[in-house]
Amino acid sequence: MKKHIVKDILNYILTENDIIKPDLINASNYKDANEVINYLKKGGKISTVSSERQCEYCGELAGSINYYTDGTWVWPEWLSHYVIKHQIKLPFDFVEQIINNNYDGELVQKIVNQELEIQFYEE
């Protein structure tokens, strides 16, 4: 099986204690949260779990911990909550990817169909 390398957004937004880095909150580096949300929704789902994350900032259920990918990045479903409610700052190259709409449907389908094994990018 071929390996495909992706970047895990959690490496950029979580502290060692599994909370969102406080300095990312209310610091969005994109103009339109809806554009980000629409992009996140397009991602291919690559895991199926039932557990959910509760938001450490407002106490609401932020969403499932299922992972989605666009072929370059992987992110959990709950990321949308932090975009809408907390204007989370995202990695610059991820925002660029969204603005340029670099969604590779063909590649994502291969990952979802498990024709490609994903490997996480190590910094």
Residues at the interface with Zn ion (CB under 5 A) = 55, 57-58, 85
CB of 111 to Zn ion, least distance (A): 29
Output the DSSP codes for 7-30. Answer: EETHHHHB-TTSSB-GGGTT---S
Query: Which residue number is nearest to Zn ion in terms of Cβ?
Result: 55
Tell me the C-alpha distance between 101 and 41, whole Å: 12
Q: Please tell me the distance from the alpha carbon of residue 23 to that of residue 88, in angstroms, as a whole number.
A: 9
Name which of 59 and 106 has its Cβ closer to Zn ion. 59
Give min distance, CB of 85 to Zn ion, in A: 5
Q: Minimal distance in Å, beta carbon 60 to Zn ion?
A: 5
> Which positions ≥6 away from 63 have C-beta within 8 Å?
52, 53, 76, 77, 78, 79, 80, 81
Closest approach, Cβ 75 to Zn ion, in A, equals: 16
Which is nearer to Zn ion, 85 or 110 (by Cβ)?
85
Residue 57 or 103 with smaller CB distance to Zn ion: 57
